[in-house]
Amino acid sequence: MSDINDRLAALDPAAHDTYQARNLDEMISRIVASSPSGAARSTWWQRVQLRIAATLILGTLIGAGTVAIVVGGPSLAALSIQTNVARHPGTFATANTPQLYEETHFVPAPSLTSSSSSSPATSPSFKMKIPHDSAREAVHLASIFHVVGAVDHSGDDWTVASSSGASLDYQTSGASPQWYYSSTTPKIAPATASSSTDVAMPSHATLTKDALGYLKNLGFDYSAVSPVYSESTVSTTSANGSPRSQSQEEVSYTVAVHGVDTNQMVSFSVDAHNTLVYAQGPAFGVGSGTNYPLQSPLDGVNALNALERAAFPSPAVGANAAEPVTLHAKLTSASISLGTFRLKNGTTWLLPLYTYSGSVAQKNQATVQTWSEIAITPSYVRLSSSEARSVLNN
């Protein structure tokens, strides 16, 4: 991306008109004199700080090694997670989401309370097998899609492009490597797609057969479940400026490992002639599973609330006082899935998660969201900080 970053940097408005702060000491005096700092924090917050400090010290002592053996669980090693994670809605934050100012309070519905007694006591975790030779993996994946060409390497991205323009990108920036295939025409432009087509598209059965064929050839250990089919029309502009459109049909699967859904997706898109135009998915294998004890779904809810309190220690302050600063989420169900986590020893694991579904009331409107929390009993999990935890969404 360095070439593209250079082009973007050359067009930076601030590069042409750099901001130079003035009279900073005056501003500091003005602000300090006219408004209280967070100094008026409650003794409650001071107690929380003490608890966090104690947790950090304990965590440091126990988690000093890459992996520590847990007392009371001689056959199971603690999972020392590298990532500072934060419980988080299942979707990414967006520019319109005032993340910094909103605290969420989670309330379990009676249905969730009753289901806790029947939840499983253990669930398997899986160490992921990641290809060591990325260039070789890129070439291998490209061959599955009949893309033949030299490998272009830039940072964590390996690209194989054919003379026809089809390309295979293999990216290793995330916890789990991802591959992306794109045919020559058209390139996929998600922002310009509509959700319907005006031509006959291949049947779901045909698309499924093709997708499963590709998955078999890819040869990864995972399976693809819960297909979701969608049609779209991607609008582009031809070289002479006239509009043109390309109808596509996509099947998107949830990636599952040994029958358990993961947070990974794999998808395939074809055009009206059943030619593959786009595909993407993760590249990993798995070893045998290790069963870790689980906390109850209700304990997971308590953990979510504890993390919220740690993240919002003082009364939440909105930049706009009229906006709500505390959201109330009613959690109605919890399901087990596998999330991707990188450990301090550099390995990547699929760990069981509780994914909670619930609704949030905000501004007289309820929205359905999901939140995830590590399902493994906390004594087997070492986090690198007291900060919140979340799944690596890739």
Partner 1 sequence: MGAPDEDRFARLVHEHSNAVGNYLRRRLYPLNLSDLDDLVEETMIVVWRRIDSVPADAELPWMLGVARNVLRNARRSKNRRSAFESRLAPTPNDASAEEHVTADESVRNALASLPDDDREILLLNAWDGLDTHALGTYFVISTNAAAVRLSRAQHRFRELLNEAQVR
Establish if 52 lies at the interface with partner 1 (CB under 8 A).
no
Establish if 98 lies at the interface with partner 1 (CB under 8 A).
yes
| DSSP strands (E only) in the chain | 69-70, 73-77, 79-81, 103-108, 122-129, 151-154, 157-161, 167-171, 178-182, 193-194, 223-237, 243-257, 260-271, 276-282, 285-286, 290-293, 326-342, 348-362, 365-374, 381-383
Establish if 16 lies at the interface with partner 1 (CB under 8 A).
yes
Q: How far is the CB of 27 from partner 1 (least distance, A)?
A: 6
DSSP track, 223-277: EEEEEEEEEEEEEEE-TTS-EEEEEEEEEEEEEEETTEEEEEEEEEEEETT--EE
Cβ closest to partner 1, residue 76 vs residue 353: 353
Establish if 200 lies at the interface with partner 1 (CB under 8 A).
no
Cβ closest to partner 1, residue 115 vs residue 176: 176
Q: Which of residues 291-320 bind partner 1 (CB under 8 A)?
A: 313-314, 317, 319-320
Beta bridge partners of 262: 338
Beta bridge partners of 235: 245
Q: How far is the CB of 199 from partner 1 (least distance, A)?
A: 22
Residue with tokens 């900080």: 385
Establish if 110 lies at the interface with partner 1 (CB under 8 A).
no
Q: How far is the CB of 297 from partner 1 (least distance, A)?
A: 23
Q: By CB under 8 A, which span of 36-44, 64-72, 117-125, 252-260 interacts with partner 1?
A: 36-44
Establish if 282 lies at the interface with partner 1 (CB under 8 A).
no
Establish if 156 lies at the interface with partner 1 (CB under 8 A).
yes
Spatial distance between the Cα atoms of 33 and 37, rounded to a whole number of angstroms: 10
Q: Number of residues interacting with partner 1: please give it, by CB under 8 A.
A: 77
DSSP 93: P
**Residue 336: partners with Cβ closer than 8 Å, 6 or more residues away:** 120, 123, 260, 352, 353, 354, 355, 375
CB-based contact 86:309 (threshold 8 Å): no
Cβ closest to partner 1, residue 12 vs residue 221: 12
DSSP 368: E
Q: By CB under 8 A, which span of 138-146, 175-183, 217-225, 324-332 interacts with partner 1?
A: 175-183
Q: Which of residues 132-151 bind partner 1 (CB under 8 A)?
A: none
Question: According to CB under 8 A, which one of 127, 129, 187, 258 is a site residue for partner 1?
Answer: 187
Establish if 288 lies at the interface with partner 1 (CB under 8 A).
no
Q: How far is the CB of 206 from partner 1 (least distance, A)?
A: 26
CB-based contact 181:276 (threshold 8 Å): yes
Strands 276-282 and 79-81: unpaired
Q: How far is the CB of 76 from partner 1 (least distance, A)?
A: 24
Which two tokens mark 151? 């490998």
Question: According to CB under 8 A, which one of 43, 75, 94, 365 is a site residue for partner 1?
Answer: 94
Question: According to CB under 8 A, which one of 112, 138, 175, 334 is a site residue for partner 1?
Answer: 175
CB-based contact 289:124 (threshold 8 Å): yes
Question: According to CB under 8 A, which one of 208, 236, 274, 302 is a site residue for partner 1?
Answer: 236
Establish if 250 lies at the interface with partner 1 (CB under 8 A).
no
Establish if 273 lies at the interface with partner 1 (CB under 8 A).
no
